[in-house]
Structure 1
Protein backbone atom coordinates (compact mmCIF):
# COMPACT_ATOMS: atom_id res chain seq x y z
CA UNK A 1 0.00 0.00 0.00
CA UNK A 2 1.34 3.41 -0.96
CA UNK A 3 1.91 6.00 1.72
CA UNK A 4 0.88 9.63 1.34
CA UNK A 5 2.74 11.15 -1.61
CA UNK A 6 3.89 7.78 -2.96
CA UNK A 7 2.92 5.89 -6.10
CA UNK A 8 3.70 2.22 -6.63
CA UNK A 9 4.58 0.76 -10.02
CA UNK A 10 4.59 -3.02 -10.21
CA UNK A 11 5.79 -5.69 -12.60
CA UNK A 12 6.93 -9.27 -12.47
CA UNK A 13 8.95 -11.45 -14.76
CA UNK A 14 9.23 -15.10 -15.57
CA UNK A 15 12.21 -16.78 -17.17
CA UNK A 16 11.02 -18.85 -20.13
CA UNK A 17 14.13 -20.41 -21.64
CA UNK A 18 17.75 -19.80 -22.53
CA UNK A 19 18.21 -16.01 -22.41
CA UNK A 20 14.54 -14.94 -22.59
CA UNK A 21 11.60 -14.15 -20.37
CA UNK A 22 8.23 -12.44 -20.08
CA UNK A 23 7.66 -9.18 -18.24
CA UNK A 24 4.12 -8.68 -16.90
CA UNK A 25 2.43 -5.61 -15.50
CA UNK A 26 -0.72 -5.01 -13.46
CA UNK A 27 -3.39 -6.93 -15.37
CA UNK A 28 -6.14 -4.62 -14.16
CA UNK A 29 -4.58 -1.82 -16.22
CA UNK A 30 -4.67 -3.92 -19.40
CA UNK A 31 -0.96 -3.53 -20.10
CA UNK A 32 0.33 -6.23 -22.48
CA UNK A 33 3.16 -8.54 -21.53
CA UNK A 34 6.57 -7.91 -23.05
CA UNK A 35 8.89 -10.68 -24.20
CA UNK A 36 12.46 -9.71 -23.42
CA UNK A 37 15.89 -11.17 -23.74
CA UNK A 38 19.56 -10.63 -23.31
CA UNK A 39 20.80 -8.20 -25.99
CA UNK A 40 22.13 -9.90 -29.15
CA UNK A 41 25.50 -8.23 -28.43
CA UNK A 42 25.74 -10.54 -25.41
CA UNK A 43 24.51 -13.72 -27.05
CA UNK A 44 20.79 -13.10 -26.68
CA UNK A 45 18.09 -13.72 -29.29
CA UNK A 46 17.19 -11.33 -32.09
CA UNK A 47 13.72 -9.82 -32.07
CA UNK A 48 13.37 -9.34 -28.30
CA UNK A 49 13.44 -6.12 -26.34
CA UNK A 50 16.36 -5.98 -23.90
CA UNK A 51 16.67 -4.42 -20.44
CA UNK A 52 18.89 -1.78 -22.03
CA UNK A 53 16.17 -0.99 -24.60
CA UNK A 54 13.64 -0.61 -21.79
CA UNK A 55 15.96 1.64 -19.78
CA UNK A 56 16.47 4.04 -22.68
CA UNK A 57 12.78 3.86 -23.64
CA UNK A 58 11.71 4.66 -20.07
CA UNK A 59 13.45 8.04 -20.29
CA UNK A 60 12.05 8.74 -23.77
CA UNK A 61 8.47 7.95 -22.76
CA UNK A 62 8.70 9.68 -19.38
CA UNK A 63 9.89 12.86 -21.04
CA UNK A 64 6.81 12.96 -23.27
CA UNK A 65 4.29 12.07 -20.56
CA UNK A 66 5.79 14.67 -18.21
CA UNK A 67 5.64 17.27 -20.97
CA UNK A 68 1.99 16.41 -21.67
CA UNK A 69 1.12 16.89 -18.00
CA UNK A 70 2.86 20.26 -17.83
CA UNK A 71 1.28 21.46 -21.07
CA UNK A 72 -2.15 20.35 -19.89
CA UNK A 73 -1.82 22.40 -16.71
CA UNK A 74 -0.79 25.42 -18.79
CA UNK A 75 -3.55 25.02 -21.38
CA UNK A 76 -1.08 24.51 -24.24
CA UNK A 77 -1.86 21.99 -26.97
CA UNK A 78 0.73 19.70 -28.47
CA UNK A 79 0.42 19.70 -32.27
CA UNK A 80 3.15 17.19 -33.11
CA UNK A 81 5.92 15.37 -31.27
CA UNK A 82 8.47 12.81 -32.34
CA UNK A 83 11.53 11.73 -30.46
CA UNK A 84 14.27 9.19 -30.63
CA UNK A 85 16.52 8.12 -27.81
CA UNK A 86 20.00 6.68 -28.05
CA UNK A 87 21.80 5.15 -25.11
CA UNK A 88 25.53 4.56 -25.09
CA UNK A 89 26.64 1.58 -23.05
CA UNK A 90 30.30 1.24 -22.25
CA UNK A 91 32.55 -0.76 -20.00
CA UNK A 92 33.65 1.22 -16.97
CA UNK A 93 36.73 0.56 -14.91
CA UNK A 94 36.33 1.31 -11.22
CA UNK A 95 39.15 2.49 -9.01
CA UNK A 96 37.41 1.24 -5.90
CA UNK A 97 38.91 -1.90 -4.44
CA UNK A 98 37.08 -5.15 -5.07
CA UNK A 99 34.84 -3.76 -7.79
CA UNK A 100 35.17 -5.46 -11.14
CA UNK A 101 34.73 -3.61 -14.44
CA UNK A 102 31.09 -3.40 -15.49
CA UNK A 103 28.91 -2.14 -18.32
CA UNK A 104 26.79 0.94 -17.78
CA UNK A 105 24.65 3.17 -19.94
CA UNK A 106 26.67 6.31 -19.45
CA UNK A 107 24.77 8.68 -21.73
CA UNK A 108 21.29 8.96 -23.23
CA UNK A 109 20.58 11.47 -25.98
CA UNK A 110 16.99 12.47 -26.68
CA UNK A 111 16.33 14.05 -30.07
CA UNK A 112 12.96 15.77 -30.00
CA UNK A 113 10.95 17.42 -32.78
CA UNK A 114 8.02 19.34 -31.33
CA UNK A 115 5.29 21.70 -32.45
CA UNK A 116 2.90 23.31 -29.98
CA UNK A 117 0.38 26.14 -30.02
CA UNK A 118 2.75 28.38 -28.07
CA UNK A 119 5.65 30.70 -28.93
CA UNK A 120 8.99 28.94 -29.45
CA UNK A 121 10.52 30.57 -26.37
CA UNK A 122 7.72 29.20 -24.21
CA UNK A 123 8.19 25.73 -25.71
CA UNK A 124 11.94 25.92 -24.92
CA UNK A 125 11.11 26.78 -21.33
CA UNK A 126 8.57 23.94 -21.13
CA UNK A 127 11.18 21.45 -22.34
CA UNK A 128 13.70 22.71 -19.78
CA UNK A 129 11.17 22.27 -16.97
CA UNK A 130 10.19 18.85 -18.30
CA UNK A 131 13.72 17.56 -17.70
CA UNK A 132 13.57 18.76 -14.10
CA UNK A 133 10.17 17.12 -13.50
CA UNK A 134 10.71 13.81 -15.32
CA UNK A 135 10.80 11.11 -12.62
CA UNK A 136 12.98 8.80 -14.70
CA UNK A 137 15.57 11.50 -15.45
CA UNK A 138 15.63 12.38 -11.76
CA UNK A 139 16.25 8.73 -10.87
CA UNK A 140 19.08 7.71 -13.18
CA UNK A 141 22.80 8.38 -13.13
CA UNK A 142 23.29 8.37 -16.91
CA UNK A 143 24.13 11.73 -18.47
CA UNK A 144 21.06 13.03 -20.32
CA UNK A 145 21.44 15.25 -23.39
CA UNK A 146 18.32 16.73 -25.00
CA UNK A 147 18.52 18.03 -28.56
CA UNK A 148 15.36 19.81 -29.68
CA UNK A 149 13.94 21.06 -32.93
CA UNK A 150 10.95 23.34 -32.39
CA UNK A 151 8.74 23.44 -35.47
Structure 2
Protein backbone atom coordinates (compact mmCIF):
# COMPACT_ATOMS: atom_id res chain seq x y z
CA UNK A 1 0.00 0.00 0.00
CA UNK A 2 1.25 3.47 -0.86
CA UNK A 3 2.19 5.79 2.00
CA UNK A 4 0.49 8.73 0.26
CA UNK A 5 -3.21 8.91 -0.56
CA UNK A 6 -5.04 11.78 -2.20
CA UNK A 7 -8.65 12.77 -1.79
CA UNK A 8 -10.53 15.36 -3.81
CA UNK A 9 -13.84 17.15 -3.59
CA UNK A 10 -15.50 19.87 -5.62
CA UNK A 11 -17.53 22.44 -3.68
CA UNK A 12 -19.99 24.83 -5.30
CA UNK A 13 -21.83 27.57 -3.44
CA UNK A 14 -25.38 26.86 -4.58
CA UNK A 15 -26.75 29.73 -2.49
CA UNK A 16 -25.87 32.03 -5.37
CA UNK A 17 -29.21 31.03 -6.93
CA UNK A 18 -30.88 32.98 -4.08
CA UNK A 19 -28.84 36.09 -4.81
CA UNK A 20 -25.36 37.49 -4.35
CA UNK A 21 -23.56 38.14 -1.07
CA UNK A 22 -24.36 41.73 -0.18
CA UNK A 23 -24.43 41.65 3.61
CA UNK A 24 -23.82 39.08 6.35
CA UNK A 25 -27.45 38.55 7.26
CA UNK A 26 -28.93 38.13 3.81
CA UNK A 27 -27.07 35.53 1.79
CA UNK A 28 -27.72 31.80 1.50
CA UNK A 29 -25.17 29.52 3.13
CA UNK A 30 -26.05 26.49 1.00
CA UNK A 31 -23.39 24.57 -0.88
CA UNK A 32 -22.98 21.26 -2.66
CA UNK A 33 -20.01 18.92 -2.44
CA UNK A 34 -19.35 16.55 -5.31
CA UNK A 35 -16.92 13.66 -4.99
CA UNK A 36 -16.37 11.61 -8.11
CA UNK A 37 -18.53 8.49 -8.26
CA UNK A 38 -20.55 9.36 -5.13
CA UNK A 39 -23.88 11.09 -4.44
CA UNK A 40 -23.73 14.84 -3.98
CA UNK A 41 -23.84 16.18 -0.44
CA UNK A 42 -25.91 19.28 0.26
CA UNK A 43 -24.71 21.44 3.10
CA UNK A 44 -25.04 24.74 4.84
CA UNK A 45 -23.63 26.62 7.78
CA UNK A 46 -24.68 25.46 11.24
CA UNK A 47 -27.85 27.16 12.54
CA UNK A 48 -25.92 29.45 14.96
CA UNK A 49 -24.17 30.86 11.89
CA UNK A 50 -27.37 31.51 9.93
CA UNK A 51 -27.40 28.16 8.18
CA UNK A 52 -30.15 25.69 7.44
CA UNK A 53 -30.90 23.19 10.22
CA UNK A 54 -32.08 20.65 7.61
CA UNK A 55 -28.71 20.38 5.88
CA UNK A 56 -25.37 18.93 6.92
CA UNK A 57 -22.85 21.45 8.20
CA UNK A 58 -19.05 21.27 8.45
CA UNK A 59 -19.12 20.96 12.23
CA UNK A 60 -21.49 17.96 12.17
CA UNK A 61 -19.43 16.38 9.41
CA UNK A 62 -16.21 16.76 11.41
CA UNK A 63 -17.75 15.00 14.42
CA UNK A 64 -19.20 12.31 12.14
CA UNK A 65 -15.81 11.83 10.42
CA UNK A 66 -14.08 11.27 13.75
CA UNK A 67 -16.78 8.81 14.82
CA UNK A 68 -16.68 6.89 11.54
CA UNK A 69 -12.88 6.75 11.47
CA UNK A 70 -12.76 5.35 15.02
CA UNK A 71 -15.45 2.80 14.15
CA UNK A 72 -13.66 1.59 11.03
CA UNK A 73 -10.28 1.46 12.79
CA UNK A 74 -11.81 -0.48 15.68
CA UNK A 75 -13.65 -2.98 13.47
CA UNK A 76 -10.46 -3.67 11.51
CA UNK A 77 -8.53 -4.29 14.73
CA UNK A 78 -11.24 -6.61 16.06
CA UNK A 79 -11.28 -8.56 12.79
CA UNK A 80 -7.52 -9.02 12.96
CA UNK A 81 -7.70 -10.03 16.65
CA UNK A 82 -10.48 -12.56 16.07
CA UNK A 83 -13.07 -10.64 18.12
CA UNK A 84 -16.52 -11.04 16.60
CA UNK A 85 -18.38 -7.72 16.73
CA UNK A 86 -22.16 -8.06 16.56
CA UNK A 87 -23.09 -4.38 16.78
CA UNK A 88 -21.47 -0.97 17.05
CA UNK A 89 -23.09 2.41 17.76
CA UNK A 90 -21.62 5.73 18.77
CA UNK A 91 -23.17 8.88 20.20
CA UNK A 92 -20.43 11.35 19.32
CA UNK A 93 -20.46 15.01 20.28
CA UNK A 94 -18.14 17.96 19.89
CA UNK A 95 -17.61 21.22 21.73
CA UNK A 96 -16.76 24.35 19.78
CA UNK A 97 -16.04 27.61 21.57
CA UNK A 98 -14.28 30.92 21.15
CA UNK A 99 -10.57 30.66 22.03
CA UNK A 100 -9.76 34.02 23.64
CA UNK A 101 -6.00 33.51 23.27
CA UNK A 102 -6.05 32.70 19.55
CA UNK A 103 -9.14 34.89 18.99
CA UNK A 104 -10.84 32.24 16.84
CA UNK A 105 -13.80 29.91 17.12
CA UNK A 106 -12.60 26.31 17.19
CA UNK A 107 -13.30 22.82 18.46
CA UNK A 108 -11.96 22.21 21.96
CA UNK A 109 -12.78 18.49 22.03
CA UNK A 110 -14.84 15.67 20.59
CA UNK A 111 -16.19 12.85 22.73
CA UNK A 112 -16.93 9.44 21.23
CA UNK A 113 -19.17 7.05 23.15
CA UNK A 114 -19.00 3.77 21.22
CA UNK A 115 -21.33 0.98 22.37
CA UNK A 116 -20.10 -2.38 21.13
CA UNK A 117 -21.62 -5.83 21.51
CA UNK A 118 -19.29 -8.75 20.94
CA UNK A 119 -19.99 -12.47 20.56
CA UNK A 120 -20.36 -14.67 23.64
CA UNK A 121 -17.00 -16.05 24.71
CA UNK A 122 -14.96 -13.19 23.21
CA UNK A 123 -12.27 -11.43 25.25
CA UNK A 124 -14.00 -8.32 26.67
CA UNK A 125 -10.78 -6.84 28.09
CA UNK A 126 -9.04 -7.16 24.72
CA UNK A 127 -12.08 -5.64 22.97
CA UNK A 128 -11.96 -2.67 25.37
CA UNK A 129 -8.21 -2.22 24.90
CA UNK A 130 -8.59 -2.15 21.12
CA UNK A 131 -10.48 1.15 21.46
CA UNK A 132 -7.27 2.82 22.61
CA UNK A 133 -5.36 1.29 19.69
CA UNK A 134 -8.13 2.40 17.31
CA UNK A 135 -7.83 5.92 18.65
CA UNK A 136 -4.10 5.98 17.91
CA UNK A 137 -4.64 4.54 14.42
CA UNK A 138 -7.56 6.78 13.39
CA UNK A 139 -6.38 8.92 10.46
CA UNK A 140 -8.83 11.71 11.20
CA UNK A 141 -8.12 11.91 14.95
CA UNK A 142 -4.42 12.06 14.12
CA UNK A 143 -5.12 15.06 11.88
CA UNK A 144 -6.92 17.38 14.31
CA UNK A 145 -5.39 19.68 16.91
CA UNK A 146 -7.86 19.07 19.74
CA UNK A 147 -8.46 16.09 22.02
CA UNK A 148 -10.65 13.26 20.75
CA UNK A 149 -11.73 11.27 23.78
CA UNK A 150 -13.66 8.04 23.94
CA UNK A 151 -15.73 6.34 26.57
CA UNK A 152 -16.36 2.88 25.12
CA UNK A 153 -18.81 0.38 26.51
CA UNK A 154 -18.22 -3.22 25.44
CA UNK A 155 -20.83 -5.82 26.29
CA UNK A 156 -20.85 -9.55 25.75
CA UNK A 157 -23.76 -11.17 23.94
CA UNK A 158 -25.55 -13.94 25.76
CA UNK A 159 -25.35 -17.44 24.42
CA UNK A 160 -28.93 -17.02 23.15
CA UNK A 161 -28.05 -13.99 21.03
Q: What TM-score, normalized by structure 1, do the two folds share?
A: 0.87
* Equivalent residue number for residue 39 of structure 1: 46
Distance 2:95 2:89 in 1: 20
Q: Does 1:79 align with 2:86?
A: yes
State the match for 1:61 in structure 2.
Answer: 68
Alignment of 1:1-150 (within 5 A): 4-17=2-15, 18-27=28-37, 31-94=38-101, 101-117=103-119, 118-150=122-154
Q: Classify the secondary structure of the residue corresponding to 2:33.
A: strand
Kindly indicate which of the two structures has a greater share of residues assigned to strand.
1
Cα deviation per residue 1:84-118 (whole Å; 9 max; x = unaligned)?
11000000012xxxx6x211011100111111232
Aligned CA RMSD, in angstroms, stands at: 1.5
Residue aligned with 1:135, SS? coil
**Residue 146 of structure 1: CA displacement?**
0.5
Please report how far the alpha carbon of residue 26 of structure 1 lies from its aligned counterpart in structure 2 after TM superposition.
2.0
For 1:16 and 1:111, locate their aligned partners in 2 and report how far apart those are by CA, in whole Å. 35
How far apart, CA to CA, are the structure 1 residues paired with 2:138 and 2:70? 6
Per the normalisation by structure 2, the TM-score is 0.82
Report SS of the residue matched to 1:26. coil
- How many pairs does the alignment contain? 141
List structure 1 segments (4+ residues) > 3 angstroms apart after TM superposition. Answer: none
